[in-house]
Amino acid sequence: MRATAGRAAVRAARRYRLAVEKAREPLLLLQQEVIECRRCPRLITHCRQVAVVKRRAYRDWEYWGKPVPSFGDPRARMLIIGLAPAAHGANRTGRMFTGDQSGEFLYRVLHQTGFASQPTSVSRDDGLELRGAYITASVRCAPPANRPSPQEIRNCSRFLEKEIELLPELRVVVVLGRIAFDVYLSLLAKRGLIAKRSAFVFAHDKEHRTAPGLPLLISSYHPSRQNTQTGRLTAAMLKAVFTRARRRLGA
C-alpha cells in the first residue's frame, strides 16, 4: 500500500508540474510584450538615461533600462500590485521590487509569511522564488520623480488586465499604495464588475469585498522610503497585511 501511495504522489507531482508549465507559457509571452512596449516615450527615455548615467554605487552594473516584467508563481492565489520600478532598483536589476529599500522591506515580510523562498532580493538571478504569489505593478517603467502621468498609467493598465485573466486561481489581491488601489478598481469598473470606484475608501490593512466571485482586495501603504523611514509603515504593519492574506487563503 505504501508503494501505491508513493506512485500516486509521484503522479500528482508530475501533474502539478505540467499544470505550472502550461500556466507559465502565456504569462511569459505577455511579459515579453511588456519588455518590448514603447507606448510611453517619456518613460522609455528616462529608463535609458538612468541606465547610462547610473548611480555611483552601481557603476559596475549593466542596468536593465527598459520596461520591467512581472514575475511569480503562475498558479498564484495572491496578486501583489505595486506602483512602478525604482530608477536604481528594478530599472537596474530587471525584476520587480529588487535592488532597493522598498524591496528589502517587502521580501523580508513575504519570506516571514511564507510567500517568498528567501528574505532578500538583489538581482533577477539570485534564486528567489515566490510561493503562491505573483508581483506586478501599475506602471512597468521607472517614472521621473516616481510619478507616472494618468495617461502612462492607462497605457500600462492593459498588461495588468491581461495578467489577471491569466491568473485564474487568484483569491486575494494586495495593492501597495493609493495609485495601485485606484488602478485595480478602475479596471473592475471598466469591465462593469463594480458600480463605482468611489464606493471604496483606501486605508492600510483594510479588506474590500468588491463583487461576488472576485478576489478579496486588501489595501496597504506602499513600502516606500518615505513611508518606512517616517514610521508611517512599519515591518509589523506590513506583516499584518500578508498574515491577513495568508489567513484569508486558508493556508
**pLDDT per position as a tens digit, 143-154:** 999 999 999 999
Q: β-pairing, 206-208 with 133-137?
A: unpaired
Range 201-213 average pLDDT: 96
For range 229-239, the mean pLDDT: 97
Region 36-46 average pLDDT: 98
Q: What is the pLDDT of residue 111?
A: 98
Q: What is the per-residue pLDDT for 64? A: 98
Domain layout of the chain by residue ranges: 28-249
Residues 6+ apart with CB under 8 A from 202: 178, 181, 182, 219
pLDDT at 173: 98
Mean pLDDT of 213-241: 97
Q: How confident is the model at residue 246 (pLDDT cuts 50, 70, 90)?
A: very high
When pLDDT is cut at 50, 70 and 90, the band that residue 11 belongs to is low
> Mean pLDDT throughout 140-166?
97
pLDDT for 98 equals 98
Q: Given CA atoms 247, 165, 138, 201 in this order, what sign does their dihedral have?
A: negative
Domain 28-249, second-level architecture: 3-Layer(aba) Sandwich (3.40)
pTM score, whole prediction: 0.91
Tell me which long-range contacts 221-225 makes (C-beta under 8 A, separation of at least 24).
Answer: 221/176, 221/177, 222/82, 222/83, 222/102, 222/176, 222/177, 222/180, 223/102, 223/105, 223/106, 223/176, 224/83, 224/102, 224/146, 224/177, 225/101, 225/102
Q: What is the average pLDDT across 150-172?
A: 97
The answer to whether residue 185 scores a pLDDT higher than 60 is yes
Question: Is a pLDDT exceeding 90 seen at residue 133?
Answer: yes
Confidence bin at 1 (pLDDT 50/70/90): low
Cα separation, 159 vs 153, whole angstroms: 11
Mean pLDDT value across the chain? 93
Would you state the pLDDT for residue 196? 85
The confidence score (pLDDT) of residue 88 equals 98
Contact 81, 208 (CB under 8 A): no
**Average pLDDT, integer, range 34-50:** 98
Q: Return the pLDDT at 23.
A: 75
Mean pLDDT computed over 108-115: 98
